A = this chain, B = another copy of it.
Amino acid sequence: MTDRYPQLTEQYAPDAVILGDGDYPRHALPLRILHNARYLCCCDGAGAAFIKQGGMPHAIVGDGDSLSPTFKQQYASLIHLINEQDDNDLTKATHHCMSCGARRIAYLGATGKRDDHTIGNISLLMRYYREFGLFPVMITDFGYFTPASGTCRFDTFCGQQVSIFNFGCTELRGDGFRWAPYAYSSLWQGTLNEALGTEVQLCGNGCFLVYRAFSPLKDNRLS
């Protein structure tokens, strides 16, 4: 069976959107997905940021560390404080959305600021896919990450920058790329590849994470 991963568009309507407390989205596409969310769960301080922008989330989940006492009182009905230490706020929010029945979850604001959080959150996507059985996508101002496994087709545009991160494949091959993919042993080895046409294919005996850039060599952030 070949799974197909279409290009991300404004029409993408996941079951839930989780807004992390990293860099607040500035690119038009993640902003549109944020504001169209049928269920929006914010991680702690991101809830305050979203409300400051004039919005209202369905839930705010986290340990409450970055919320003021006044804010906590005012929005008590939205706030789910979870004080366990094994999971970060992104995973707590994920559990919350799963308890509401969500399987297709878009993660925004999950990169930027603390670099160790960025790496942790990107690798957590693989956990949500493999361990939780979700279909997550992480969207930044520059592109988006999709976890996948087995044989997959990804819609691309000609010249689209594509990076592949190997999470456990001992065999990995692909078609439609400028440089032939292989079972990379380091994360940097699969970066900076490029789609030759409107589709790339990957076939691996494990999991991998595919990053498609919105547009090459351009800072798409709205000022």
Binding site for B on A (CB under 8 A): 65-66, 85, 88, 111-124, 126-127, 140, 142-143, 145, 161, 163, 165, 179, 186-188, 191-192, 211, 213, 217, 219
Contacts and interface: CB of A to CB of B under 8 A. Distances in A.
A169 to B, nearest CB: 15
Contacts of A165: 116, 119
Given A123-B186, A186-B126, A191-B88, A116 B163 contact: yes
A213 B120 CA distance: 14
Given A65-B217, A217-B66, A191 B126 contact: no
A120 B192 contact: yes
B163 A213 contact: no
A85 B37 CA distance: 41
A211 B117 CA distance: 10
A56 B66 CA distance: 41
Contact of A188 (B123, B145, B191): B123
Given A120-B163, A122-B115, A145-B115, A127 B217 contact: no
